[in-house]
Amino acid sequence: MNIRKTELEGVVVIEPEVFGDARGYFFESYSQRRFDEAVRPVRFVQDNESFSRYGVLRGLHFQKGRYAQSKLVRVVRGRILDVAVDIRRGSPTFGRHVAVELSGENRLQLFIPRGFAHGFAVLSDEALFQYKCDNSYAPEQEGAIAWNDPSLAIDWRLPAEAVILSEKDRRHPLLAEADELFDYNTDYYA
């Protein structure tokens, strides 16, 4: 696999090595040993899958404190714009984001470490999205920031009238108003 660093510390794009022939293709979508060596040691404990239609935007979500999660995300079918936002107060890149197009065709994966908010927008007619988490979901520890916070300046590559949100995702605070974020000097993996 090929690891590409992004401008946000710890957020990386993973490109698998794909072996193809007349029968089709094969690639290793995840190897604990290779991931630990190339990215960071993480023990994933939960796999999730979501199906969404064009215009669905999910985010920007995170889990608080000791319930913080790293995510390894990929698209099996369709095309999305995946976004990670640095929400570690004191970080030199606080409030900045990385946006990567993930698709069934490019087979790229994005690793989002603890301390970042995450979201995605569906750019194709439909998308099948899979992700691994290194901590169990704790609904009482959910955190989020507004997907359309002007200070983040995220281009979701969707017209505003096409965006489809859950009721919950309509009510998230702006980054400047979020009460519980992360601290850059705290190791959330300890």
User: How large is the greatest C-alpha to C-alpha distance in the chain, in angstroms?
Assistant: 55
97 counts as catalytic: no
Query: Which of the following is catalytic: 61, 97, 118, 172?
Result: 61
CA 180, distance to chain mean position in Å, is 19
Query: How many Cβ atoms sit within 10 Å of the Cβ of residue 2?
Result: 10
Q: What share of the chain is helix, strand, coil (3-state, %, to 5)?
A: 10, 45, 45
Please say whether the beta carbons of 165 and 80 come within 8 A. no
Query: Which of the following is catalytic: 67, 97, 118, 131?
Result: 131
61 counts as catalytic: yes
Pull the structure tokens for residue 38.
């190339």
> Looking at the annotation, which residues are catalytic?
61, 131
